[in-house]
């Protein structure tokens, strides 16, 4: 099968995704694991000279093929999940995990990297190569290479079990969402829903040979129901269903309760084995933040600043709901509905009205123009072999037409695709023997697919999400780092990785940019200035409530992982209530099970790291302030090419070739300040 297996294609070639089948995974993984093991053992040979060319380069070449194939398998498992693909992926997962653990525990390879570090000419090596070696030595220590005997064996068991348990958590969440649906045959119950949401629900029902409208818990359906459905009982039904996903409140086969306990126990044990106080302490070894105490102080300070604004937001919402909606007992399932009515009342526009101007083709064209203006590249749609007919390819070029990288866009929700929005990479930029390998990235969203012949309509929040994920993609695509060990996704500190993504969000509020993004679905008119002014006035609508909500998640995460002993699921829920009592203004019912669906923490790599969103938001807001300052000086608006090129050079291009704090300082000329974040959020005292 070697010759016909698309997962074994040369790394320089694009993957033929349309040809990948579940049965390709096992033979590709087996063959590439064998080659990678041989390469590791060879690289560890003490007879080799202590040089980059003898040790690191051949090891990178062998392991790159394995990780490219496995990245493709993992990506397909996330976006076109089928029983056959899931079975093939899960069958290979233990072997991949075992290999990763084996490499991390390989004392010979560890000694070889120490030889590199101690070589006489090491100080004269290029800085990026020294950075790769330094990070590798750190990661070896964090991978348990200095453990011996029973501790070493137990560490390997923990690593394998964590991978399996996280994967099962993700599967339970996906399956619980896919398994739930509600057929509505009385159209009156759907009064208030936007036309495109109704059309999609009708198509979903028809696809199952049923009449009426089929509601699901996928975001393009769930959020509009919560915002617009006038039927309070319907909102309550969906709220309860979503709030109990993958918990003991629902189908027991999808209950994540035991997985939460097991993951927390495994993480706690891993930290103690490696000599750290707790999992938070272990995780922060690779972050900008130095300790859990520093993170907790940061979050509590932000909560202290934001909570008065959140309390004001909620008081205004309660008063409006009682006066205008007759809701004296505002319930959690009423909050999104009441918020949207208050927004419409206060600012005289609705999200549904606004999204008529954001057609997907226009938004993408405008996004491409923004990128081209800021960063001096060109984006062209191109034919690619894809995993689904909806996927589109984008070729990124420099101004001379040379290839910079490829981007795959997968924008629509569907069964078998995990929820949310994310970016991942298939391969990194790399230069070997004078040949340049360009990066490949995937950008995934979950927008509602339009009816045939119609463009998708995006809410302004959808547009912000697209810009956010594009920032992640640009971090990979515009890299000028030639060593994969210092690529952005491989080595940028986790609490700085959101800097480019959150930075890009800011452009979605600028009038010159929104003119490029908007064209009414009916007549092609751009967004009217009067509607833009309303949107801008509403930018910080309930920003206090939104901020304390994010702080609640982040503080819960950090406190949960900063314990000496792993908590049980009841203790996890009790901790969440304690955090809410401290920082929150909204309180879900006792039966609500938010942690059971919190894939960021238990399946997405954000355990003891959810604070990164707010931490990086300080960096991103301050970075964007440089564009605001340039606009004031030049009068040319926010798309300042000179500042954009500097952002590309000092942030995007360097990836993880240096610490993120140094990159920020190189761009901004100083340490970051929280002032811009507070100003952008409207949380400043007016003079």
Give the domain CATH number at 25. 1.20.1050.40
pLDDT for 81 beyond 90: yes
Q: Is-catalytic flag, 662?
A: no
Same domain, yes or no: 210 and 101? no
Strand (E) or helix (H) holding 584: none
CA 208 remoteness from chain centre: 32
Q: Is residue 355 part of a domain?
A: no
Mean pLDDT for 527-531 is: 97
Q: Is residue 124 part of a domain?
A: yes
Residues in the chain: 687
Q: Is residue 141 part of a domain?
A: yes
Strand (E) or helix (H) holding 445: strand 440-447
Question: First-to-last CA distance in the chain?
Answer: 72
Same domain, yes or no: 140 and 12? yes
Mean pLDDT for 88-114 is: 97
Same domain, yes or no: 86 and 214? no
Mean pLDDT, the chain, integer:
96
Same domain, yes or no: 46 and 110? yes
Same domain, yes or no: 14 and 139? yes
Q: What is the pLDDT of residue 452?
A: 87
Mean pLDDT for 108-112 is: 98
Strand (E) or helix (H) holding 389: none
649-663 burial, b for 16+ CB within 10 Å, e for fewer? bbbbbbbbbbebeeb
When comparing pLDDT for 687 and 381, which is higher?
Answer: 381
CA distance linking residue 440 with residue 103, whole number of Å: 25
3-state helix, strand, coil in the chain (%, to 5): 60, 10, 30
Q: Are 358 and 625 in contact, with CB atoms under 8 Å apart?
A: no
Same domain, yes or no: 231 and 135? no
Same domain, yes or no: 102 and 199? no
Mutual angle of helices 460-477 and 360-375, in 10-degree steps: 40
| Single pTM value for the model | 0.91
Q: Is residue 651 part of a domain?
A: no
Domain residues for the domain of 137 are: 2-146
Q: Are 363 and 466 in contact, with CB atoms under 8 Å apart?
A: yes
Give the model's confidence band at 574: pLDDT under 50 very low, under 70 low, under 90 confident, else very high: very high
Return all residues near 433 (Cβ < 8 A) that are at least 6 apart: none
Catalytic residue among 469, 493, 552, 617: 469
pLDDT for 315 beyond 80: yes
pLDDT for 1 beyond 90: no
Residue appearing with tokens 């000028």? 480
Same domain, yes or no: 131 and 42? yes
Total structural domains in the chain? 2
Same domain, yes or no: 184 and 133? no
Give the model's confidence band at 687: pLDDT under 50 very low, under 70 low, under 90 confident, else very high: very low
Mean pLDDT for 517-528 is: 97
Same domain, yes or no: 86 and 9? yes
Q: Is residue 213 part of a domain?
A: yes
Give the closest residue to 558 by CA, choosing from 515, 517, 600: 600
CA distance linking residue 422 with residue 69, whole number of Å: 19
**pLDDT > 90 in the chain, percent:** 96
pLDDT digits (tens, 9 = 90+) for 10-38: 999 999 999 999 999 999 999 999 999 99
Same domain, yes or no: 120 and 197? no
Q: Is residue 256 part of a domain?
A: no
Which of 146, 168, 195 is where one domain is finished? Answer: 146
249-281 burial, b for 16+ CB within 10 Å, e for fewer? bbbeebbbbebbbbbbbbbbbbbbbbebebbbb
Q: Is residue 283 part of a domain?
A: no
Mean pLDDT for 491-498 is: 95
Which of 127, 146, 165 is where one domain is finished? Answer: 146
pLDDT digits (tens, 9 = 90+) for 627-645: 999 999 988 889 999 999 9
Alpha helix ranges (H) inside 208-254: 219-228, 232-243
CA distance linking residue 310 with residue 542, whole number of Å: 7
Burial classification of residue 243, based on how many CB atoms lie within 10 Å of its CB (0-12 exposed, 13-18 middle, 19 or more buried): buried
CA distance linking residue 595 with residue 601, whole number of Å: 8
Q: Is residue 226 part of a domain?
A: yes
CA 129 remoteness from chain centre: 28
CA distance linking residue 448 with residue 135, whole number of Å: 41
Same domain, yes or no: 34 and 135? yes
When comparing pLDDT for 77 and 432, which is higher?
Answer: 77
Which of 219, 245, 271 is where one domain is finished? Answer: 245
pLDDT digits (tens, 9 = 90+) for 418-466: 999 999 999 999 998 889 999 999 999 999 999 889 999 999 999 999 9
């Amino acid at each position: 099968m070697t010759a016909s297996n698309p997962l074994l294609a040369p790394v320089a070639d694009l993957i033929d995704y349309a040809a990948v089948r579940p049965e390709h995974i096992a033979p590709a993984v087996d063959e590439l694991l064998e080659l990678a093991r041989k390469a590791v053992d060879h690289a560890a040979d003490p007879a080799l000279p202590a040089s980059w060319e003898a040790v690191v380069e051949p090891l990178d070449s062998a392991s790159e093929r394995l990780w490219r194939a496995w990245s493709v398998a993992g990506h397909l498992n996330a976006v076109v999940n089928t029983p056959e693909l899931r079975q093939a992926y899960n069958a290979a997962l233990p072997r991949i995990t075992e290999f990763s653990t084996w490499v991390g525990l390989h004392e010979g390879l560890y000694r070889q990297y120490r030889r590199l570090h101690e070589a006489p000419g090491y100080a004269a090596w290029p800085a990026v190569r020294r950075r790769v070696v330094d990070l590798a030595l750190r990661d070896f220590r964090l991978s348990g290479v200095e453990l011996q005997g029973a501790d070493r064996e137990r560490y390997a068991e923990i690593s394998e079990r964590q991978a399996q348990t996280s994967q099962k958590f993700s599967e339970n969440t996906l399956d619980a969402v896919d398994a739930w649906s509600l057929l509505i045959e009385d159209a009156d119950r759907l009064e208030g829903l936007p036309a495109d949401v109704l059309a999609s629900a009708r198509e979903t029902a028809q696809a199952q040979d049923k009449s009426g409208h089929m509601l699901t818990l996928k975001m393009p359906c769930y959020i509009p129901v919560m915002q617009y459905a006038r039927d309070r009982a319907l909102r309550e039904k969906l709220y309860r269903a979503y709030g109990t996903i993958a918990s003991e409140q629902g189908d027991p086969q999808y209950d994540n309760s035991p997985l939460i306990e097991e993951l927390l126990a495994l993480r706690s044990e891993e930290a103690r084995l490696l000599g750290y106080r707790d999992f938070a302490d272990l995780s922060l070894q690779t972050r900008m933040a130095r300790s859990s105490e520093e993170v907790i102080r940061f979050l509590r300070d932000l909560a202290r600043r934001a909570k008065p604004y959140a309390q004001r937001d909620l008081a205004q919402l309660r008063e409006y709901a009682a006066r205008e909606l007759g809701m004296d007992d505002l319930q959690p399932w009423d909050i999104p509905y009441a918020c949207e009515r208050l927004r419409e009342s206060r600012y005289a526009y609705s999200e549904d009205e606004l999204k008529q101007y954001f057609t997907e083709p226009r938004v993408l064209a405008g996004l491409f123009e923004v990128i081209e203006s800021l960063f001096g590249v060109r984006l062209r749609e191109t034919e690619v072999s894809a995993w689904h007919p909806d996927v589109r390819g984008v070729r990124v070029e420099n101004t001379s037409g040379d290839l910079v990288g490829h981007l795959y866009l997968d924008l629509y929700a569907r069964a078998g695709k995990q929820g949310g929005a994310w970016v991942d990479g298939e391969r990194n930029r790399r230069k070997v023997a004078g040949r340049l390998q360009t990066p490949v990235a995937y950008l995934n969203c979950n927008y509602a697919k339009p009816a045939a012949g119609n463009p998708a309509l995006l809410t302004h929040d959808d547009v912000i999400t697209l810009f956010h994920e594009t920032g992640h993609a640009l971090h990979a695509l515009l890299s000028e780092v030639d060593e994969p060990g210092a690529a952005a996704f491989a080595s940028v500190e986790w609490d700085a990785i959101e800097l480019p993504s959150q930075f890009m969000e800011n452009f979605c509020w600028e009038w010159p940019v929104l003119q490029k993004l908007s064209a009414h679905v009916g007549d092609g008119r751009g967004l009217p200035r009067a509607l833009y002014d309303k949107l801008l006035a509403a930018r910080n609508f309930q920003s206090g409530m939104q901020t304390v909500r994010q702080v609640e998640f982040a503080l819960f995460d950090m406190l949960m992982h900063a314990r000496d002993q792993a908590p049980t699921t009841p203790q996890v829920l009790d901790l969440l209530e304690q955090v809410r009592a401290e920082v929150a203004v909204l309180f879900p019912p006792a039966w609500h099970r938010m942690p059971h669906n919190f894939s960021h923490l238990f399946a997405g790599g954000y355990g003891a790291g959810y604070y990164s969103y707010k931490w990086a938001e300080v960096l991103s807001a301050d970075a964007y302030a440089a564009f605001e300052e340039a606009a004031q000086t030049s009068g040319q608006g926010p798309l300042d090419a000179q500042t954009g090129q500097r952002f590309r050079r000092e942030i995007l291009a360097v990836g993880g070739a240096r610490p993120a704090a140094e990159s920020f300082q190189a761009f901004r000329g100083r340490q970051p300040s929280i002032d811009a974040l507070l100003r952008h959020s409207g949380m400043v005292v007016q003079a």
